[in-house]
Chain A
């Protein structure tokens, strides 16, 4: 039975799709058969970030409505074995996501895959609710910024009350924080919430801190998950986060400003 992970945040634009693409790719790189599903009906973007936008024929909604077979809608990644993408519809609306339909597709996928990663849309409406309803694990994507932290807290409340596990009184959905767009220099200047501040407020375990990085835009420009840019800080931070998700104990990197070397300190003094 595959595990269902939801990548969610409440707020939009914090990096859910970027993180979904990176995380799914990271899990597949570790040898797990992984599928990443776009739940943002009408605003499809995972296909672009994954670089498979020109290969979409059938989608998630077609499968739910019985208009296509699951295998026809799944797109196999060209770079990595074990990685599949299930794009969503660009034309239908969120009402196309029925609980029964989503459950049927997830059940079918969980027979074949180790991990099913659901990329949630922003908000707490139908699309977001459907993406988290069946989840075993939730990764909460948050920016160190007031509105994002507040919305994350709200979505944690939704997970604790409206997920299937909550409704059935089963063991709760595990929740982990992925703090994205973190800028240690601004934190040092007192302009940005610290990792510890966000952890204190949200009170969930930390999965990873992804530093603000130009590599993220460069990667999405070319349709490549940023985790494949192994030289970038963001890519390495995602690799670490995947490791932690799989139970490895890894130190958090990129959370503080690197100490300046003797040479640059001398330069600064004379400047």
Chain B
């Protein structure tokens, strides 16, 4: 044993990590065993509420769960589409530009103008965090 290793803190034995990981995951599994697995239902209902007001794309929903020792996080990221009004405007603009140029080659410019018309924020991100 060299004199330096005396000062270095010993690495945490892997068995200790195994025990801690097991304790955390099994505490959650035991708690979940008694009740129904509510996460998928919670997700569906939350989305239903949001969908009632906003036309959301189901493929642009991200659900993340991080189970920790004393605190778990449920993160719901939903990408909101351009507002209905903005959509209509976009279509109108497209049609106008299409008429003017006789081609649809200016899509980028069109979306830019639409974004501005919609107040510069057609796309917004919504995040829900829950602590328990």
Contacts and interface: CB of A to CB of B under 8 A. Distances in A.
A157 B33 contact: yes
Interface string A114-146: 000000000000000000000000000000011
A110 B99 CA distance: 90
Interface in B6-48: 13-16, 18-19, 21-23, 25-26, 29-30, 33
A167 interface: no
Given A190-B13, A201-B23, A146 B18 contact: yes
A257 to B, nearest CB: 15
A193 B25 contact: no
Interface of A: 145-146, 149-150, 153-154, 157, 187, 189-194, 197, 200-201
A146 B21 contact: yes
9 contacts: A146-B18, A146-B21, A153-B26, A153-B29, A154-B29, A193-B15, A200-B19, A201-B19, A201-B26
Contacts of A190: 13-16
A190 B16 CA distance: 7
Interface string B82-110: 00000000000000000000000000000
Given A145-B18, A146-B21, 13 more contacts: A146-B22, A149-B22, A150-B26, A150-B29, A153-B26, A157-B30, A190-B15, A191-B13, A191-B14, A193-B15, A197-B19, A201-B22, A201-B26
A192 B26 contact: no
A194 B18 CA distance: 11
Contacts of A146: 18, 21-22
Contacts of B26: 150, 153, 201
Contacts of B25: 150
A253 B108 CA distance: 77
> Taking chain B's interface residues, is the majority helix, strand, or loop, or is none over half, making it mixed?
helix
A192 B19 CA distance: 10
A246 B26 CA distance: 31
A192 B15 CA distance: 5
Q: Which of B21, B25, B33 counts the most chain A CB atoms within 10 A? A: B33
B94 to A, nearest CB: 56
Nearest first, the 3 A-B pairs at minimum CB distance are A190-B13, A197-B19, A190-B15
Nearest to B26: A153
A47 to B, nearest CB: 35
A187 B15 CA distance: 8
A56 B33 CA distance: 41
B33 A150 contact: no
Contacts of A197: 15, 18-19
A157 B30 CA distance: 8
Nearest to B11: A190
The interface centre, meaning the residue of A149, A197, A200 with most chain B CB atoms within 10 A of its CB, is: A197
B131 to A, nearest CB: 26
A189 B30 CA distance: 30
Nearest to A187: B15
B37 to A, nearest CB: 14
Contact of A194 (B15, B22, B23, B33): B15
